[in-house]
Amino acid sequence: MIDMHKRRSWLRPFGMAMLAMLLVAMLAVGIVATTVGIQASREEPEPPVTLTTTMRTRTLADEITGALVAFPDATIGVTAEGTVTRNGISVGTALNEGGVIGVVNERPILLMQGVVPMWRALAPGMHGEDVLQMQNALVRLGYAIYDESGTYGDSTALAMNQYLAALGYEAVNASNVPLKADDWKQTAVPQQQLVFAPSVPAQAETTCGVAGQTIAGSLCTLETASCKYAAAFAAVDVPDVAALEGAPAAILISDGAVNGVVGKQYEVERSAGDEKSDNASSVQSDDSAGSLIYLRLENLDGGKLQKEAAAIGSGNVRVAVTRTQGETDALTIESTALRQDGSTTWVLVDGGRRVDVETGLCVQGICEISGDNLAAGTVVVLPTPDDGDEGKGAGDE
C-alpha cells in the first residue's frame, strides 16, 4: 500500500505542469490568431471616398487690391532772409487764407490763395494777375476793393493797411520801410512777405521758423490740403497699365465705400535726399526698388476721403479695382470639378452622368459654366487621382 501511494503522489505535480503548459500554448495560439486577424483587417483596402461640390449662382469679378495714396495738389516752398523773431507754424498745422506762416525781421509772411507765385513786390500803381489774386483774397477776408480788377490802387492799399493793422503789424512801403498813418496810400507788400498757394488751407510739412533762427533761403514747406488720389499696386499685378484705365474702383473706408474710376498712371516725383516728397511715405517705404505702380483715381467724393486723412496717410485704406466683371448671377463651379476630354470640358454629376459644359470667366478657382440641364444645387463629383487623364480637373492644368 505504501509503495502504491508513493507512485501516485508524483503524478499530481506532473499533471498540473502539463495542464499549465497546455493553457500557455492555447493562449499563445489565441494571441497569434488575433494579431493575424488584425493585420489582415488592416491590409484590406478601405472603400473609396467620393468628394463632391455643388453648382451655385454668383457674380464673379476679377479684382486687384492696392493702397490708397494721397498726393497734395501742390507743394509750396516758403523763402525768407533775416532773423526769425516769432515762432512760425509747426509741422502739421493747417493754415487758412490770411494766416501768418512765420515772422522774419518782425514782418509777417502771409498766406493767400492764387495760382501765380509771388515773384515780385506788390505796390501801388502795379497791374497784373498777382495783384488780382491779392485783391480777391482781401475781399474774401472782408475788405472792400473799389479799384479796377488787377490794378493796385488806393482802395487796395487801404485794405492791405487795415488787414496788417488787424494782425498787429505796421504797414510798410515797397522798400520795406514802415509807414506813418497818413502815408497809408503807399502801403505795399514786399516779395517775401506774401505766399500764394493754389488752394487753401495749406499745411506745414516743416516748422516755419523758430525765434532766434537765422534764415537765408528756405524757411519751410507747405502742402495744400486738397489732394489728388491714386492707388498703389504691386507692379506684377498690373502688367498692362492702359488696360485698367476707366475700370471701376471702390475705396473701402469706415463710412462705407467711395466709388471712382481708374485714370492714367501717376508719376511720383522724388527729390534727391527728400524722404517726404508726398503724403504717401508709408506706402512708398516699400517701393525702394520701384515695385509699385501708381494709378490716378478720378470722379471721387473728396469730402469723404478727407475725413480719412489719418488712415490714408498710414497706408491703411484699400482700393479694389475690377479688371473684369462676370455675368450677373452666373452658374458657377469650382475649377477642380471640371474634367477635360480633348477639347471638351465636362463634369460628372452625382449619379454618374456626364454633362458637357462651356466655361467663362474664372477667378480664384471658381469658373462660370453654361450648358444643357444645369441648375444651381446640382451635386458634382470631384475627380480623383485614380480617374486617369480623362478625369483630370481642368483647373489643375
Rounded Cα gap, residues 146 and 305, in angstroms: 39
DSSP label of 148: P
Give burial (CB, 10 Å; 0-12/13-18/19+) of 265: middle
Sheet holding 107-113, edge to edge: 94-95, 202-204, 214-224, 75-86, 100-104, 107-113, 194-197
Cα separation values, 195 from 86, 96, 112, 165, Å: 18, 12, 6, 19
CATH topology of domain 327-396: 2.40.420
List % helix, strand, coil for the chain (3-state, nearest 5): 25, 35, 35
Chain-centre distance for alpha carbon 236: 16
- Backbone φ and ψ for 31, nearest 5 degrees, come out as -65, -45
The stretch 137-141 carries a mean pLDDT of 98
Amino acid 373: pLDDT: 82
User: Residue 260: what pLDDT?
Assistant: 94
What fold is seen in the domain 62-72+227-325?
A: Elongation Factor Tu (Ef-tu); domain 3 (2.40.30)
Better-scored residue on pLDDT, 50 or 280: 50
> Nearest-CA neighbor of 300 among 277, 317, 285, 314?
317
Band of residue 320 on the pLDDT scale cut at 50, 70, 90 = very high
Q: What local confidence, expressed as pLDDT, does residue 276 receive?
A: 43
Average pLDDT, the chain: 86
- Separation of alpha carbons 206 and 218, rounded Å: 11
Per-residue pLDDT for 247 more than 70?
yes
Q: What's the pLDDT score for residue 58?
A: 93
Tracing cell 509772411 back to the chain, one arrives at 109
pLDDT tens readout for residues 348-359:
998 889 999 999
Enter the C-alpha cell of residue 188.
505795399
Better pLDDT: 307 or 94: 94
Per-residue pLDDT at 281 exceeds 90: no
Q: What is the pLDDT of residue 268?
A: 77
Bridge-based pairing of strands 353-363 and 366-370 is: antiparallel
The single-letter DSSP state of residue 356 is E
Cα separation, 301 vs 261, whole angstroms = 12
Q: Which range has the worst mean pLDDT, 58-62, 90-94, 275-279? A: 275-279
Q: Please report the pLDDT score of residue 226 as a whole number.
A: 87
What pLDDT digit, counting tens, does each position of 344-391 carry?
999 999 888 999 999 999 998 999 999 988 999 999 999 987 765 555
CB 156 within 8 A of CB 145: yes
151-195: per-residue pLDDT in tens? 999 999 999 999 999 999 999 999 999 999 999 999 999 999 999
DSSP state of 90: P
Per-domain residue ranges of the chain: 62-72+227-325, 75-224, 327-396
> Do 109 and 103 form a contact (C-beta atoms < 8 A)?
yes
How many percent of the chain have pLDDT more than 90? 63
Looking at per-residue pLDDT, the higher value among 324 and 143 belongs to 143
Given a cut of 90, whether residue 213 has pLDDT beyond it is: yes
Kindly state the cell numbers that stand for 22: 497546455
pLDDT confidence of residue 396: 43
Same fold for the pair 62-72+227-325 and 327-396: no
Is the pLDDT reported for residue 394 higher than 50? yes
| DSSP β-ladder status, 94-95 and 61-72 | unpaired
State the angle between helix axes of 11-43 and 2-9 in degrees (0 to 180), rounded to the nearest 10.
20
pLDDT tier at 127 (50, 70, 90 boundaries)?
Answer: very high
The pLDDT of residue 82: 97
pLDDT at 211: 97
* pLDDT at 285 > cutoff 80: no
Distance CA 100, CA 111 (A): 6
Tell me what pLDDT residue 23 has: 64
